Amino acid sequence: MKSLLTMEQLSKKELFEILDIATEMKAETKADKKNTKNLEGMTLGMIFQKSSTRTRVSFEVGMQQLGGYPLFLSGNDLQLGRGESIKDTARVFGRYLDGIMIRTFKQSDVEELAEYSGLPIINGLTDYCHPCQVLADLLTIKEHKGGFDGLKACYIGDGNNMANSLLVGCLLAGMSFSIATPEAYKPCEHIMQVGESYGDKFSWTTDIFEAAKDADVIFTDVWASMGQEGEAEIRRKAFAGYCIDEKLLAVANEGCMVQHCLPAHKGDEITEDVFEAHADEIFDEAENRLHAQKAVLWLCMHK
């Protein structure tokens, strides 16, 4: 791996290598041992044009645990905020840093950064995809279910960046994947085509109960993502009923996991009762951002 820009770029072998290394690193961290793999003397530039809790803290802590230095770069503080091009910024950073993580709006900015910096680039989130979160999700499923074969994953809600990356990641790992969204909020056409290439292992519907039937893990996300706050009321009406509650879990398999990338709007996409009943799984998922990203950092940046 040179960079992690999207889930689609990964082969199944690369995906499982990331998960195996993340498992190894997590075990070392839990045993209070220094990671056997390290990035000593290396600097990761972390560009944030979108606010963050888990992404910033997990990358910053992860880079420190690997022996490197995380450098926080706010979009408001960089010349990007005053009109400097991504191309020029990338060529400067290529002479200072050893790698870049970026959390931004446009996927094209991530691609351009990779093209002109000459550095490993890690996509911390764009409006198109969220690969780091999905790697953490898959690590959590692996831990709780022991693997992926024969499992069904389901996503309920907006066909957003999380849906795009989950669809690709879950199918690549070997699960079947169903998604329920309103007609006007499907994943993008390209991602739907990826799903359809898996044949009957993939399905889309507007019916949340049809999607969740016999599921082993159910995902959801907020109805209005960052940058969509102005659409909140429109989306609230469009997604009415697209909620993980006890009635929905009743049609899933016994022991079905619930996952949420956080922050959660309890009472909208998930009920308070379901969230708290599955809080251990959800916060394992949040913790696994740290371990999955450490694996990605090492694979992308080590010499």
Catalytic residues: 103, 130, 133, 221, 261, 289
Q: Please, what is the angle between helix 279-301 and helix 131-145, to 10°? A: 120
Terminal alpha carbon distance of the chain: 11
Amino acid letter, residue 116:
Y
Please say whether the beta carbons of 217 and 151 come within 8 A: yes
Q: Which whole-number Å values give the CA distances from 187 to 72, 218, 233, in the listed order?
A: 31, 17, 20
- Residue 82 burial by CB count (10 A; 0-12/13-18/19+): exposed, middle or buried? exposed
Q: How many CA atoms are closer than 13 Å to the CA of 205, on its beta-carbon side?
A: 12
CA-to-CA distance for 2 and 32, rounded, in angstroms? 29
CA-to-CA distance for 90 and 103, rounded, in angstroms? 15
